[in-house]
């Protein structure tokens, strides 16, 4: 699924739920994919830049 960043800000909780369920969410800026939101590759995830 592709979604503009501005729209994603208002729907972040729903997008995170969808990513947890296995859907890949591509964030776009001016139609270009700039980031991807997805579930961690392994159970428990890994330590990220924003915390544990």
The pLDDT, as a whole number, for residue 52 is: 55
Provide the whole-model pTM: 0.73
DSSP E strand stretches across the chain: 2-4, 25-29, 32-37
Residues of the chain by 3-state class (helix, strand, coil), percent to 5? 30, 30, 40
Rounded to 5°, angle at Cα 49 from 22 and 39: 5
C-alpha dihedral (33, 37, 38, 40), degrees to nearest 10: 120
Q: What is the pLDDT of residue 41?
A: 80
Give the residue ranges of the chain where pLDDT is below 70. 42-52
Q: State the pLDDT at residue 45.
A: 54
């Amino acid at each position: 699924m592709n979604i503009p960043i501005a729209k994603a800000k208002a729907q972040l909780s729903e997008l995170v739920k969808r990513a947890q369920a296995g859907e890949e969410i591509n964030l776009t800026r001016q139609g270009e994919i700039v980031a991807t939101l997805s579930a961690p590759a392994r159970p428990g995830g890994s330590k990220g830049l924003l915390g544990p």
